[in-house]
Amino acid sequence: MQRYVIDNNKNTNVEDFQMRDMLLSKLKKRFTTYGYKQVRTSTFESYDMYSNIIGTVNKDEMIKVIDTSGKVLVLRPDVTIPLNRMTTLNGLTPDNQRLFYILDVFRQSHAEADEKESTQAGIECFGDNSAEVDSEVIMMAIHTFQDLGFSNFKLEIGHAGFFKELIQQANLNEHELESLQALIQSKNLVDIEPFLSQLNIDEDVRVAIQSIPMLYGNPENVIDQAKSIIRNDSMKEILQNLIDVYEILQAYGAENSVVFNLGLINNMNYYSGIIFQGFVDNIGKPVLMGGRYDNLGKQFNQPSPAVGFAFEVDLLIHAIQQQELAQPQSPVVDVIIHYNESKQQEALRSAYVLRDNGLQVLTYLNNKSATQIRSSYIAEFNESQNKLISRKIEKNFSNPEELLALLQKEEN
């Protein structure tokens, strides 16, 4: 049965929720087709768990509460960390353990003071650190964008290790590193050169670091450019990992959906391998972020390879509304039943039978239905006859079973 149609009218809050529900259903369906099982974590977590993990959530952005025993808790600021703890500490990390979640996360920042809660839909794959798994995870993200109807989207793919290897040869202090990261992330080519010139680093290292922001675009071109700044075997292995992932994405036929960005250095202390983020038209920030974080399990004394990503659901909904990809109109039901008092028992019995077969049914005595309610069919129960009406048909029926048979015939 058709439930929603494209419409340009402004959504009510109820309709916004229905659109959100449809979006989440699509995400769940796609994650499931790749073999992932849904899980959840607690809304309240121990503050110590997050404060003791290096390179993850900014502690100042956590929303803290104190329970009756005086223990400091935080509203869940991240899903990956508790999921990683749950799987590693409970010994639940066989090869290819595949989990997905749709959960709210809570953070506060000065930049977005009013935005303390958001919904993330993400996946985590534990126990395998192969290029095949990395490329499959990226392909699942691409597949999901396609499911949602986005025709113009891109996944930027980088590698946390490439920049780390160069930085190790520069011997920068913490302040210098933070400043350099900010320049690279903003692709500030004007200021990078004078900034590097004032540092005491080898000329070839300076030239290599200076070229990082320009290593963006067509993967084959970026690979060729990156080969010219390889300085050791580790960097050669990292580049080969990127090449392997890209070749598998080509086998999927997904090469037109990706670009390489070796200047993608977000959360360097967290990610250990492939990193990526997804963009759609007219949204100025990533709607998806992910990557490989093989070192996180070590902080729970249980090393385990892991890779994952998370969609920002609220940004996805904003993009869908902006591009008019799936706007529901006023509520649509399958059948509206009108009946007179003399036909009440028969009408309500019919409503039960239809609902029992999965149809959405509204019933109204003496035709007192709200005019804004739309339906695919109207069933009228009058003293003289019972009638099923739609834009295409007008047929009589005598009992609930015959009414159900008519509806099923029309939909087949």
The amino acid sitting at 77 is P
Asked if 331 contacts 14 with a C-beta cutoff of 8 angstroms, the reply is yes
Question: Tokens at residue 122, please?
Answer: 């993400």
Domains of the chain: which residue ranges? 13-322, 332-411
pLDDT at 170 (0 to 100): 85
Q: Encode pLDDT of 182-237 as tens digits.
A: 898 888 888 998 898 888 888 888 889 999 989 999 999 999 999 999 988 999 99
**Domain 13-322 coded CATH 3.40.50.2000:** no
Alpha helical stretches, state H, 148-232? 160-168, 174-185, 189-197, 203-211, 219-227
Contacts of 335 (CB under 8 A, 6+ apart): 354, 359, 360, 361, 362, 375, 376, 377, 378, 379, 407
pLDDT at 95 (0 to 100): 64
Mean pLDDT computed over every residue of the chain: 87
Best CA proximity match to 157, nearest among 100, 101, 241, 78:
241
Asked if 184 contacts 212 with a C-beta cutoff of 8 angstroms, the reply is yes
Q: Which CATH architecture has domain 332-411?
A: 3-Layer(aba) Sandwich (3.40)
List the binding residues for L-histidine.
Answer: 78-80, 107, 120, 124, 270-271
Q: Encode pLDDT of 348-401 as tens digits.
A: 999 999 999 999 999 999 867 656 678 899 999 998 899 999 988 899 999 999
Q: Encode pLDDT of 49-97 as tens digits.
A: 887 776 667 788 889 999 889 899 999 988 988 888 777 666 555 566 8
C-alpha–C-alpha distance, residues 86 and 271, integer Å: 19
Q: Is the pTM of this model over 0.85?
A: no
Contacts of 356 (CB under 8 A, 6+ apart): none
C-alpha–C-alpha distance, residues 181 and 192, integer Å: 10
List the binding residues.
Answer: 78-80, 107, 120, 124, 270-271
Q: Encode pLDDT of 98-110 as tens digits.
A: 999 999 999 887 6
